[in-house]
């Protein structure tokens, strides 16, 4: 049997402690983990794909001794998986609402490529409620985000929110 490559896709806008937890756990069950940062213009990301890839790389560096690669992708997930030789897609689940969406995605992905399995990792208790969308909202409104993201990511997010508020003409 060859190297088992897993692909953990997401927007990571920004990467949260919940994402990091899934990355750390996924890296233990595959030989190589590729973190695929989706371009995902439809979601209107706060950070460019290059910024998000850099953020994820910086966070993943902490997981020494693990074979982890971070790259952007702008095609179908299953095409990205084939390109990197992945046999496993890793997805994190926070709640029942996540399951419903993910269940549909697995069905579609199996139709596109039945050779690639999807593995779900349940969010750890202390990360189940963390969503990038909510973290960005809290940051935009000046709330404390330090318990949801690393200090490095918090600094970047706070700076981006200040920049967006300035550009919108909102007083600090």
Specify the CATH number for the domain of residue 10.
3.40.50.620
In a domain, 135, yes or no: no
Q: What is the residue range of 71's domain?
A: 5-126
Considering 52, 91, 132, 136, which one is annotated as catalytic?
132
Q: Is the pLDDT higher at 51 or at 99?
A: 51
> Over 90: is that where the pLDDT of 151 sits?
yes
List 17, 19, 52, 127, catalytic entry: 19
Is residue 165 over pLDDT 90?
no
Residue 120 lies in a domain: yes
Domain for residue 151, yes or no?
no
> pLDDT band at 110, cuts 50/70/90?
confident
Q: Please indicate, yes or no, if residue 104 is contained in any of the structural domains.
A: yes
Does residue 110 form part of some domain? yes
**Number of domains the chain contains:** 1
Q: Is 19 a catalytic residue?
A: yes
Strands 117-122, 5-10: parallel, antiparallel or unpaired by DSSP? unpaired
Mean pLDDT of 92-114: 82
Does the annotation count 160 as an active-site position?
Answer: no
Catalytic residue among 66, 94, 110, 165: 94
């Amino acid at each position: 049997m060859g190297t088992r490559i897993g692909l953990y896709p997401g927007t990571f806008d920004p990467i949260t402690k919940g994402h990091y937890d899934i990355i750390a756990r996924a890296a233990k069950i595959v030989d190589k983990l590729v973190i695929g940062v989706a371009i995902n213009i439809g979601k209107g990301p706060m950070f460019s794909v290059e910024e998000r890839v850099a953020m994820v790389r910086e966070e993943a560096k902490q997981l020494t001794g693990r074979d982890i690669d971070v790259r952007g992708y702008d095609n179908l997930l299953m095409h990205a998986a084939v390109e990197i030789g992945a046999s496993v897609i890793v997805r994190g689940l926070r709640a029942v609402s996540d399951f419903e969406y993910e269940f549909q995605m697995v069905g579609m992905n199996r139709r596109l490529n039945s050779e690639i399995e999807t593995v779900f990792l349940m969010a750890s208790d202390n990360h189940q409620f963390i969503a990038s969308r909510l973290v960005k909202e809290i940051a935009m409104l000046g709330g404390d985000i330090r318990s949801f993201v690393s200090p490095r990511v918090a600094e970047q997010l706070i700076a981006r929110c200040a920049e967006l508020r300035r550009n919108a003409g909102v007083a600090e």
